Structure 1
């Protein structure tokens, strides 16, 4: 015998509402919390590039006395931690997804890895030919620039306007930082780039939270 709760609603409007609710529930189940994607990277940029600016400042002396290895080491450690954190969050959210969506995600992940491998090879090859102040600018500008491009590519693949706009923002911030020059680039990326990621994660979470 079929219970009353198992019967489909007789009202077409109620049936449509039920379908919308089930779709939203499924989307929330498989869509990771935007904070898990944006906040780790935003904090890594804010702290890592912030330390880089404090030590490799535009002036002749560091603004804050610290070991010379600390800014770069901190940045790499934080970026690695952010990559691991977001990879785990993505695996938990999309681990059961198969088909075309799974292939898009896998290929997009490979694009990040191969893109940064190419960046490291090229930057490492030409770094010895540049002054020390331009070496840091080259590495950071290439890394931030590639990040902006891949964000725009991800937004185009999944038709995610927020992700695409974040990629545009990162690209503009990177260009302005390069124009400002060594030292200033780190400050611009730390505040505007890292802050932009933190804001994107917060807005995405609020939008997800307010979704019926």
Structure 2
């Protein structure tokens, strides 16, 4: 006996609905959990730039005494961990994808890697010529600015308006913080930037769960 689900669709409308359902199911299988993409970066920014604000606070006196190397070291460690988490999540989600989409993802990943390599070299060359408070502003403003630009580029590549708008938000946050100056930049990025990433991950996860 043939089960009901094995029978062919009764009409064209039912066939189209079946195709749409199967396409949506396949898309969900390859779509990574948004929390694995945004939450690690949001926490890294919230904690890392939060330490920057506590040490490089507006004024000449740190709000919390700590070694001068600690804020930047913690930030880079957290960013490295976030990068590993999202890379693993992306590999699991898209590891079996081939063709044009795979090439786009690979080239986009190279853009991130080469972009931040260029940033490290440039900021490293300039750091010795700046006072400590401006060194922190230089590294953080360049890193956040590049992140915003790459998010906008990713949104343009995949026509993802949410990713593009997040890049716009990060860019505006970075501009406001940079204009405000050392100390304030770290606070603005920690709260608005890190908080924005956490919110983006949460909203993406809720949308993904509602579709299921």
Give the TM-score category using the shorter length.
over 0.9
C-alpha distance in 2, partners of 1:72/1:187?
14
Tell me the residue number matched to 1:98.
98
C-alpha distance in 2, partners of 1:188/1:99?
40
| Structure 1 residues 99 and 25, CA gap change in structure 2 (3 angstroms) | same
C-alpha distance in 1, partners of 2:70/2:121?
23
- Residue 123 of structure 2 corresponds to residue 137 of structure 1: no
C-alpha distance in 2, partners of 1:91/1:37?
12
C-alpha distance in 1, partners of 2:180/2:74?
24
C-alpha distance in 2, partners of 1:5/1:24?
18
Tell me the residue number matched to 2:121.
121
Tell me the residue number matched to 2:59.
59
Structure 1: gaps (5+ residues): none
Give the alignment's TM-score, normalised by structure 2.
Answer: 0.96
Tell me the residue number matched to 2:23.
23
Shift of 1:175: 0.2
Query: Deviation digits for residues 44-92 of structure 1, max 9, x if unmatched?
Result: 0000000110111112211112233221121111101000000000000
Tell me the residue number matched to 1:210.
210
Shift of 1:17: 2.2
Tell me the residue number matched to 2:88.
88
Structure 2: gaps (5+ residues): none
Aligned Cα RMSD in Å?
A: 1.3
C-alpha distance in 2, partners of 1:133/1:88?
35
Give the alignment's TM-score, normalised by structure 1.
Answer: 0.96
C-alpha distance in 1, partners of 2:135/2:76?
16
C-alpha distance in 2, partners of 1:5/1:42?
44
Shift of 1:165: 0.2
Relative to structure 2, which stretch is displaced further, 43-52 or 120-129? 120-129
C-alpha distance in 1, partners of 2:132/2:51?
17
Shift of 1:168: 0.2
C-alpha distance in 1, partners of 2:202/2:71?
26
Relative to structure 2, which stretch is displaced further, 18-27 or 82-91? 18-27
